[in-house]
């Protein structure tokens, strides 16, 4: 039963990247399902949506603009 519940929640998890590498802030869908810490990149901001909680991950090497806007875009 525990595996069934775990699989159910993995289906709905999704990861969205916020990046300004193109010169302007843009969202892009990165991945859905089973997401691990290896999926996150220190150069960007990621919004991790579990459908129960939303987490904002701000990489160590993100730009000032990405950091400044990360929480506002996640809201």
Give the pLDDT score at 74.
77
Per-residue pLDDT of 11-37, as tens digits, reads 679 999 999 988 888 889 999 988 999
pLDDT for the residue 18? 92
| pLDDT in the model for residue 3 | 57
How many other C-beta atoms lie within 10 A of the C-beta of residue 15? Answer: 19
pTM above 0.85, yes or no: no
CA distances from 43 to 1, 9, 18, 72 (A): 38, 27, 10, 18
pLDDT in tens, 46-66: 999 988 889 999 999 999 999
Residue 60 to residue 42: CA distance in whole angstroms: 5
Q: What does the buried/exposed string (b/e) look like for 35-74 if buried means 16 or more CB atoms within 10 Å of the residue's CB?
A: beeeebeeebbbbbbeeeeeeebebeebbeebeeebeeeb
């Amino acid at each position: 039963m525990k595996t069934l519940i775990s699989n159910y929640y993995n289906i709905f998890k999704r990861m969205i990247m916020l990046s300004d590498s193109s010169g302007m802030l843009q969202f892009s869908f990165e991945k859905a399902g089973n997401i691990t810490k290896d999926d996150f990149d220190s150069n960007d901001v990621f919004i991790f949506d579990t459908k129960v909680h939303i987490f904002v991950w701000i990489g160590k090497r993100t730009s000032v603009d990405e950091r400044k806007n990360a929480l506002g875009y996640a809201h």
